[in-house]
Amino acid sequence: MTATGARRRGRPGYDVDSLLAVAVAVFNERGYDGTSMEDLSQRLGIAKSAIYHHVAGKEELLRLSLDRALDGLFGVADRVRATDAPAVDRLELLVRGSVEVLQRELPHVTLLLRVRGNTEVERAALERRRSFDRFVAGLVRQAERDGDISPALSPTVTAHLLFGLVNSLVEWYRPGSRTTGASLADAVAALAFDGLRARGEPPARR
């Protein structure tokens, strides 16, 4: 779709989408603070003026990228909010949906998770992340009240662990990684909600 988008303009070069894809890769390699417009210009193989044709500067590229990640996550949260199911099931939907967003928007989610709040755009993204985290903690709290998850931990710690697990995927997941059968969303949900330890009948001896 990126290549098609580039061609749609009827001339060689980039559109915002394909430009963003390259910029985010450079941000993830060098860090956003460590990337200059000159670096982007070199990697893209076009003049800085050609970049400014599409965006106001590197902070706009950062904003577009962080919004891709956050809009994906909030899209899942909105679907979950509209669901009429016990909180524990909504929490599982949220986890599964977040894994899918992470797979689909991997470079953007990776960048989001590295944001430290040095610019206005980053601080706005962190505020949206905190709002998402509060939504998660609220579902955990409700699921504990329902007696559907163990109340041994504070909802905040449980929420941290759950999304720590989800977010850790950016460290090793690469498109095409084999997960042997089950989807990655299934794998994460199975670990988080049912645990690794097999239950029930003792296994047949092999």
Q: Binding residues for a copy of itself, per CB under 8 A?
A: 31, 34, 88, 91, 113, 143, 145-150, 152-154, 157-158, 160-162, 164-165, 167-169, 171-172, 177-182, 186-188, 190-199, 202-204, 206
For the CB of residue 51, give the shortest distance to a copy of itself in the complex, in Å.
25
Q: How far apart are CA 68 and CA 17, in angstroms?
A: 11
- Measured from the CB atom, the residue of 45 and 151 that comes closer to a copy of itself is 151
Nearest approach in angstroms of CB 199 to a copy of itself is 8
How far, in Å, CA of 73 to CA of 127, rounded? 14
Q: Which is nearer to a copy of itself, 14 or 163 (CB)?
A: 163
Per-residue three-class SS string for 56-112:
CCHHHHHHHHHHHHHHHHHHHHHHHHCCCCCHHHHHHHHHHHHHHHHHHCHHHHHHH
CB of 189 to a copy of itself, least distance (A): 9
Nearer to a copy of itself, 8 or 197 (CB): 197
HSE at residue 122, side-chain half, CA atoms within 13 A, is 14
